[in-house]
Amino acid sequence: MSNPATATSHPQVPRRRRLRLMVAAVLAALIALATPAVGGAADAQPTTNTTTNTTKPTIVLVHGAWADGSGWNKVVARLQDLGYPVRVPPNPLRSLPGDSATIADFLSTIPGPIVLVAHSYGGAVITNAATGNPDVKALVYVDAFAPKKGETILPLVGANSALNADPTTVFDFVPYPGAPAGDVDLYLQHQVFLKSFANGIPTRQANLLYAAQRPLAFSAGNEPSGVPAWKTIPSWYLVGTQDRIITPHSQRFMARRAHSTIVEVKAGHLSMISHPGAATRLILRAVHVTT
């Protein structure tokens, strides 16, 4: 006979187990679409801008999932040493439309020209947030998603991505208060974080980043993107050739489709941490062309 105290002390366990299995099944189906989502495209052509404004732009850096603004610290220090105003607003990681609106509202408070930079999921956010803002003069993607209208991000990770696996071996599923039905927070599991998300980062530092990771809401990875800002704003793209989260093939595909100026660096997914000089130099190339 079951112990009544035991039976009633954890009333949410069966529901959470069902929720976890349901989310895992949906994730597996979505990520399975990754291979047909990525294909060939024409070679990228550098884009120039004839803007003559000599005012130094404000450089806005947007972080992605499983990270926070501190991932940009080395880049921020370099840009500030050169006299650039830099801002690193928090990305809520709750929904693509909501996150994009949050960043768009932040951008609306900045006077003058803006160079908008993003990493990973943040790329999808700036792709939407900058649309229609005449002050955003350049977009810079660092190992980032650059979706077209109607696309969701999970199918864009690439066939060989570490995320393109059984979701129960990739994510920890955590409920959060007020979540829509079926939604959970996704945390990267420890070994996935160290070996795939933070590959190329010293183990001690990678463990610190793992402990402080900010989760992405499951629903945020499944919401269609809007009209892309890269259709009208020149863009630059830093491809990490050892990235295991968004594959280099997928990154090149998105960059070429956006007609971005492409630079490659031998780095994993966190290239702005492992190679901050390369990220900074690409940002400065965008700055110099657009001012």
Copy the structure tokens of residue 138.
Answer: 């350049």
Closest CA to 125 of 143, 147, 142, 109: 147
Is residue 6 included in any domain, yes or no? no
Residue 246 lies inside a defined structural domain of this protein = yes
Mind listing the pLDDT tens digit for each residue in 136-149? Answer: 999 999 999 999 99
Q: With 60 as the cut, is the pLDDT of residue 36 above it?
A: no
* Partners of residue 235 on adjacent β-strands: 139
CA–CA distance, 97 with 105 (Å, rounded to integer)? 12
Q: Using CA atoms, how far apart are residues 103 and 125, in angstroms rounded to an integer? A: 8
Helical segments of 157-223, H only: 190-192, 203-211
pLDDT at 18: 65
| Mean model confidence pLDDT for the chain | 88
- pTM of structure: 0.86
Q: Is residue 153 part of a domain?
A: yes
Q: What is the mean pLDDT of residues 197-225?
A: 97
Percent of the chain with pLDDT over 70: 81
Confidence band of 53 (pLDDT split at 50, 70, 90): very low
CATH number at residue 173: 3.40.50.1820
With respect to residue 235, please indicate whether it lies within any of the assigned structural domains: yes
Q: In this structure, what token pair is assigned to residue 247?
A: 């594959």
Quick: pLDDT tens for 157-191.
Answer: 999 999 999 999 999 999 999 999 999 999 999 99
Please state, in angstroms and rounded to a whole number, the distance separating the CA atoms of residues 190 and 211: 9
Domain tally, the chain? 1
For residues 58 and 108, give the distance between their C-alpha atoms in angstroms, rounded to a whole number.
Answer: 12
Distance separating alpha carbons of residues 34 and 54, to the nearest angstrom: 42
How far is the C-alpha of 186 from the C-alpha of 198, rounded, in Å? 17
- Write out pLDDT tens, residues 11-33: 444 556 666 676 666 676 666 55
Residue 220's nearest CA partner among 21, 33, 27 is 27
Q: Report if residue 7 sits inside a domain.
A: no
Residue 2 counted as domain residue: no
Cα(186)–Cα(202) distance, rounded to whole angstroms?
24
Return the number of other C-beta atoms located less than 10 Å from residue 62's C-beta.
30
Domain around 24? 12-34+42-290
Cβ atoms < 10 Å from Cβ of 219: 18
Residue 109 three-state SS: coil
Mean pLDDT for the stretch of residues 219-248:
98
Of 198, 180, 191, nearest in space to 274 by CA: 198
Q: How far apart are CA 67 and CA 120, in angstroms?
A: 10
Cα 34 to Cα 291: distance, rounded to the nearest angstrom: 37
Burial of 212 (C-beta count, 10 Å sphere; 0-12/13-18/19+) = exposed
